[in-house]
Structures are given as structure tokens and as C-alpha cells.
A and B are shown apart, each in its own frame.
Chain A
């Protein structure tokens, strides 16, 4: 008798592609905790650190994506859409996907179901009136969501979330009645630029004010992450923030990472929504 551990099936991807990649950026700008508690309105210095993202970092990132012929998903709090409509139009015009990320980067877990619906309704209206889009994706801002969130999102036409951390391929947030519900495209902290690079003071991030990493080592880690997902044929997504990782000198990290992706054959680089649609179609029978 041979000794072996039962192997999970490798997900299949369209056209026999080896793996799926949904490059994803959270364009938070100045939204987040300090805007939610109001302290940001008295802290121009901190505001400018956040506003740097849509104002200065995003255009550079879009140039790079274009140069490397890569497409991406942008999770955008709709407060940012209201204040930088031109920047957000460019995201769309260049073929990228826009998706929900709250209005001011609210912590969904701390909101009642009604409050969550209000945020989503407001975001839906802003996306529709300002940009003429009806997003299909959602990434929960700042931490966790609540037990009702996944089902609530489907009321707004959302078909997928990229909020969880506990897998390396898509799965379904099944409803109580067993129906499939939202597709989840999980991400991991391992490829979150906050963990490696973000550094702000007053308010402090990270809480212990750990050092900013050596950019070269960050690039090595992220390239290894991609290679691992590629080798195992999985679905890779990222948690990058233009204000963190599209600062001038850090764009080179992304450039190296993007080159690594483009040097591999048979990578399906696409939007979260396309992966979700594929996952639904693939699993229709099982559903």
C-alpha cells in the first residue's frame, strides 16, 4: 500500500490556462478610520498622505499597467469617486474593473444590516450616476464583515467578494438554503502592501511602527508568491494600495512583479468579475 495524502483537485481555468490572476488595488485615498471618526478634518498632514493615492500615485500605476498590458480590478470607496471623478473615469477607460469598497471605507462588522444597505445603496447610486457602471465585486473595507453581509450584497447585484483570507482559490459563500450565493476570491496578507511597506505616523501604522521593508526583498517575496500560485494552478489576487505601493521608488517593485507574471505562459490575467463568472459556470452543476 502506497502512503499518500488525498489531493485536492486543481481548479480548471478557461482555455487550459495554468492559473488565474486578478490584480487588485484598493484606491482608498483619504477614506478610512480617521474620516469615519472625524479626526481627519483636523489633520491636513494625514489627509495629504491618503489623497496622494488618487492624485499622484494612481496615474503612474495606470501608465505601468498599460505599458505591461495588464488589466486590474480597483476597489474604490465612492467618496473617492465623488472627489476624483476624472481619475476614476480613466480607470474605466483603460479597461479596468471598478468594484465596491464602502463609501468612506466603513467597517462593515460595526454597521447594522440597515447601515450596510445604506452604504451599498449610496455607493451603487454614485457609481451609476458618476461613472455609469454597476459593479459586480465587493471587498470589505477595514477588517471584518458581519454574518449577514454576504447575502445582503447579492441584493445589490454583487456576484463576488474578495474579502476573505482562508483559501487560495475561489469558493462560494453558501446561503442557509444551500444555494451558492456570492463567489469569494480570497486574498492573503502575504501580498498586501500594508504588511511590508505602509508607514504612517499620527495615527500610527503599523501599530508598533515596525520598519519599512527593503524594497528588493518585498519584490522577491511577491514574485515567489505569484510563482507558488502559478505552480499549483490557483487563483491569485493582491491587496495593493496606490498610496503605498505606487510611490515613485516602489513602482519598481510592481514593475518587477508584473514582468514576472508576463514572463509566465498561460496566465489568465483578468478581472475579479470574470473569475467569478467562470467559477459560477464551472460549478453550476454542483450548485
Chain B
């Protein structure tokens, strides 16, 4: 197979110049409740998010099935317990479940032991519904604790999709693969809305659907041109709706119309990266500059 490096110095499979992942974040409202705890006591407002389990998951799955897409789903362990049957159906449709931690805990406030315990619990819950141990992890709220890549490796994860800093996967010191994610490729910044509590804080207008699709397509086309790894991040309660699922369908059609882009699950991309691109990032990579910055801060104390 020919692995000519693309513009970003990454080799993709023969005939492919870039990669695309369709991912879903299904947290059943935990993200919103973590930001506004009283939401859980407000039936009307909470139902905005609970719509995902009720209708959005099914609708996204239908769109994926019609297009022949296998997606990577990030799910908190506790949601796997609550929605076991629903998630078994997701797995049964060919999708992969990955960990979104246990229940939106902040790992930057936990001891390493507590972090490990919750990560293991999440892995077990997801394995119980999918008969496959998750390989990937997406950090929920909070900051990435120092050395967290080692913790993730120790409990059995091979990759993370939590940080930013690049357009292609890179390696942590522990050799955990990082698949960088970008907010403008998520649906939430464009579509989240609730009156009380306010989401977003400034109660901005809901974005133009046509404009969001145009932005995503502009990004995808550029990732294709530059040889990057495009990660679309959808939420069932935001784009699994009758009015917006068309966006998802149009986006997937556009991606599929480009035969030179490798459409794969995040796990497949991480595996590929480990096998074909596994060189340590250089000294001016964001990860290493961060390490230098931390040494500088410690030295100044």
C-alpha cells in the first residue's frame, strides 16, 4: 500500500488523502445538568435534553443506516446502565460505543484512585451493553489532569478525543493516541438553547441551519485539501430532530461524495495511527510546549 504523507505529514490508507469520523455524544442531559444542576428538577427544561433518548438516537441511527455509516458514540457509563436496551440497538446497527467517563465527574478534582475507579466502572458498563470493551475516551467537563494519559492507558484505553491543538492525531507520552476535536465541528455551540436556565448564557439566536451546514462543509473541504482528520460531533437531542437531521444527511452525502476521504470510526483511525504514524511529536508540538510551560511555572514558584 502506498502511504505518501499528505500536507500535514500524516499517512492515510492508499487512495485516501484525509479522514472523517462521524461521532455522537449521547450524555442524556448530563452535560447540561453539570452546568446547571437545578435543571434535573425542572421537567420542562430537562426534557429538552431527554429528547435525545426518546427520539434523537433513533433518528440519527436511521440517517446513519440509510447512508451506510458506522459512527463512534461517546456515552457516560451511567447512561449505558439507564439506557441499556437503546444502546444495544445502537451497537446492533453497527456503531461503536466509547467512554464519556462515568457520570460527568470532574477528573481534575478527583484522586487518581477515584478517577481510575470511575473509568473502570464506565468501561464495564459500556462493555455490558456492547460486548466490546471501549478503546476510546472523551473527557467530559473539567480540565485534563496532569499525566491523565497514563491513567487512561492503565485502565485500558488506547485513545482519547478530548483535546485540541492539531488537525491530525498525535501521541501522548504514554503512547495514548489523541484524536483532536474542534468546537466548530460540534452541533451544540450552534444549536443548544433553553430559556431557564439559559443555554447558552447569552441566549443567542439559534444559528441558521444553512449556515451551519455551509461552515461544516467548508471545514470538511479544507480538511480534505490539507489531509486532516475531520471529526463531526453530533448530539441526538440537537441534530437528531426532524428539522435538523437533514443537515446530518446532507453533510454525510457531501463527505461520501469525496471518494478520496477515508470514512472510519474513531477506533479505526486510532489503530491506523498507531500502526502507521506513530512518531513522537516534536518539541514545538502543543503537548510538548505545554510540558515546557509547566516546568517554567514550577520553576518560578
Using CB atoms and an 8 Å cutoff, list the residues of chain A in contact with chain B.
30, 35, 38, 40-49, 51-52, 54-56, 60, 83-84, 86-87, 199-202, 204, 206-217, 247-252
- Please tell me if the beta carbons of B205 and A214 are within 8 angstroms of each other in the complex: no
CB closest residue in chain A, given B212: A214
Cross-chain contact of B190 among A49, A51, A211 (Cβ < 8 A): A211
CB-contact partner of A214 in B139, B165, B214, B220, under 8 A:
B214
Across the interface, A51 reaches (CB within 8 A) one of B108, B141, B226, B290, namely B290
Q: Which of B44-52, B263-271, B291-299 contacts A (4 or more CB under 8 A)?
A: B291-299
Cα of A247 to Cα of B285 in the assembled complex, Å: 16
6 sample A-B contacts, Cβ–Cβ < 8 Å, listed by A number: A42-B146, A45-B139, A47-B165, A48-B286, A48-B290, A55-B285
Q: Choose among B204, B214, B223 the residue that contacts A211 (Cβ–Cβ < 8 A).
A: B204
Compute how far the CA of A199 lies from the CA of B192 in the bound complex, rounded to whole angstroms.
Answer: 14
Q: B166: CB under 8 A from chain A?
A: yes
| B113 CB-CB contact with A under 8 Å | no
- In the bound complex, do residue B284 and residue A209 qualify as a contact, i.e. CB atoms below 8 Å apart? no
Chain A residues, Cβ within 8 Å of B127? none
**A residues in contact with B259, CB < 8 Å:** none
- Across the interface, B203 reaches (CB within 8 A) one of A46, A87, A208, namely A208
A9–B183 Cα distance when bound, in Å, is: 46
Could you tell me if B204 and A208 are in contact, using CB atoms closer than 8 angstroms?
yes
Number of interface residues of B (CB under 8 A): 51
The answer to whether A211 touches B219 (Cβ under 8 A) is no
Of residues 127 through 154 on chain B, the ones whose CB sits less than 8 Å from some CB of chain A are 139, 141, 143-144, 146
- Residues from chain B with a CB closer than 8 A to the CB of A202 are 141, 143
> Quick one: which of B164, B207, B297 has the most chain A CB within 10 A?
B164
Given contacts A42-B108, A211-B190, A247-B182, contact A49 B164 (CB under 8 A): yes
**With the chains together, A55 CA to B220 CA distance in Å?**
20
CB of A208 within 8 A of CB of B202, answer yes
Q: Is B222 an interface residue (CB 8 A)?
A: yes
Across the interface, which residues of B come within 8 angstroms of A207, CB to CB?
Answer: 201-202
Contact of B211 with A by CB under 8 A: yes
| B184 on interface, CB distance cutoff 8 Å | yes
* Contact mask for chain B residues 59-70; partner A; CB cutoff 8 A; 1 contact, 0 none: 000000000000
Q: Which B residues are within 8 Å of any A CB, using their own CB?
A: 108, 139, 141, 143-144, 146, 162-167, 180, 182-184, 189-190, 200-208, 210-212, 214-215, 218-223, 225-226, 228, 284-287, 289-290, 292-294, 297
Instruction: Give the contacting residue for A212; candidates B146, B207, B285, B286; CB below 8 A.
Output: B207
CA distance A281 to B146 in the complex (A): 55
User: What chain A residues lie within 8 Å of B141 (beta carbons)?
Assistant: 202
Q: How far is the CB of B205 from chain A (nearest CB, A)?
A: 7
Complex contact B215–A51 (CB within 8 A): no
Give the contacting residue for B226; candidates A38, A52, A248; CB below 8 A. Answer: A248
The reply to whether B202 and A210 contact each other, CB–CB distance below 8 Å, is: yes
Hey, which chain B residues are within 8 Å of A52, CB to CB?
Answer: 164-166, 286
Most buried by A among B182, B203, B218, B294: B218
User: How long is the Cα–Cα vector from A35 to B300 in the complex, in angstroms?
Assistant: 13
The distance from the CB of A216 to the nearest CB of chain B, in whole angstroms, is: 6
| Neighbouring A residues of B285 by C-beta, 8 Å | 55
- Bound form: Cα–Cα A56–B229 in Å: 13
Inter-chain contacts of B284 with A (CB < 8 A): 54-55, 83-84, 86-87
Partner of B144, one of A45, A49, A87, A217: A45
User: Does B189 lie within 8 Å of A55, measured CB to CB?
Assistant: no
| Interface contact B214-A216, CB-CB below 8 Å | yes
In the complex, which residues of chain B have a beta carbon less than 8 angstroms from the beta carbon of A43?
Answer: 143-144
| Other-chain residue from A41, A199, A217, A249 in contact with B218 (beta carbon distance below 8 A) | A249
User: What's the minimum C-beta distance from B118 to chain A, rounded to whole angstroms?
Assistant: 19
Hey, which chain A residues are within 8 Å of B222, CB to CB?
A: 248-249, 251-252
Q: B287: which A residues are within 8 A, CB to CB?
A: 44, 48
- With contact pairs A214-B215, A216-B214 given, residues A209 and B162 touching in the complex (Cβ less than 8 Å): no
- B204:A45 contact, CB within 8 angstroms: no
Could you tell me the distance between the alpha carbons of A199 and B220 in the complex, rounded to whole angstroms?
Answer: 18
Minimum-distance CB pairs A-B, first 10: A208-B202, A48-B165, A214-B211, A249-B219, A248-B222, A51-B286, A209-B200, A249-B218, A48-B164, A210-B204
- Complex: chain B residue closest to A216, CB-CB: B214
How far apart are the CA atoms of A84 and B284 in the complex, in Å? Answer: 6
Say which residue of B143, B204, B219 sits within 8 Å of A247 (CB atoms): B219
